[in-house]
Amino acid sequence: MPLPHQPPRSPTLIDKQVASFGEAVADIPSEATIHFGGFVSPWNSPSYLVAAVARLGITDLTAISTSMGRGPANARNQTPWLPDELVPTDFWDLGLLAELGRIKKGITSFAVGARRHLVYPFEERLAAGETELELIGQGSLAERIRAARAGIPAFYTPVGPGTAVADGKEQRDFDGVPHILETALHADFALIRAYQADRHGNLIFKGARTFNETMAGAATITIAEVDQIVELGDLAPDRIHTPGVYVQRIVQRPATPTTSWEQPS
């Protein structure tokens, strides 16, 4: 029972739904550090959030992602095994922001394309000296992000000693094996993609959850782009992948896909 001087709490007070993607990202400033979720796939990329950031016009971003993206011109190369009609028209990745010259620094595992004949926007900017790169192995990147979510400031890992990854980092031996000290990777904002959410921000993912789930809560503000927003109670507690406490805003993707990142949604 609530104390006499305390009004009863109502679950209706917690509503993290935002009406539009533009509204969801409106307070992201230039020079922000942003986690971009997804795992190089149209179906788990926060495409509409990326497009909204592009329309916002902010610059000098520090972008953290498993990949720096392919950009609009190469988006269909993401799924070469599918006929064009099955490739989503509303897929924009971090390469869009690189192409627009908005990224000051990328922290990533895959900064360039794996095929010589495909040169992606971030690679072009990097070659021109217009952006910086911090390259780190994918496992260490994921753990640095997870550590930020868990409140762990740093950890030692045996991955990286003797390589450029270790430059400038503390090194110690454990059981005769060299380890380097990696610090947590906290961001100002995390932009992620999920399948379902309720208005409290509880999330369920579909397919690969990597980096979307890891980044939720590893930033001051986590914004989730979701396919569906369902009623409270529709998400079984034992099926929830990310509790709403890690999420501050949710935005539902449009029922009809857009075809241009410049089209507000």
On whether the CB atoms of residues 192 and 37 are closer than 8 A, the answer is yes
Residue 111: name the closest of 43, 158, 65, 159 by CA.
65
Which residues, at least 6 apart from 7, have a Cβ–Cβ distance to it below 8 Å? none
Report pLDDT for 136: 93
Q: What is the pLDDT of residue 1?
A: 47
Query: Looking at residue 245, what is its pLDDT?
Result: 95
Task: Tell me the three state secondary structure of residue 76.
Answer: helix
pLDDT at 14: 87
Q: What is the DSSP letter of 90?
A: S
CA distances from residue 151 to 33, 64, 215, 218 in whole angstroms, order as listed: 18, 18, 13, 9
Strands 33-36 and 61-64: parallel
Nearest to 97 by CA among 127, 129, 128, 131: 131
pLDDT at 82: 65
Reported as type and span, the H/E element at residue 125 is helix 121-127
CA distances, 64 to each of 58, 76, 84, 186, 254 (Å): 16, 23, 29, 10, 26
1's CB contacts (< 8 A; 6+ apart) are: none
What's the average pLDDT block by block, 10 residues per block, for the chain (265 residues)?
A: 52 84 97 93 92 97 95 70 73 94 96 78 94 94 97 96 93 97 98 97 90 96 97 94 97 92 85
Number of C-alpha atoms within 13 angstroms, CB side, residue 255?
A: 1
Quick one: pLDDT at residue 71?
A: 86
pLDDT score, position 254: 95
Instruction: Tell me the residue type at 5.
Output: H
Among 48, 113, 40, 92, which Cα is nearest to 122's? 113
Q: What is the pTM of this model?
A: 0.90
Question: DSSP secondary-structure letter at 144?
Answer: H
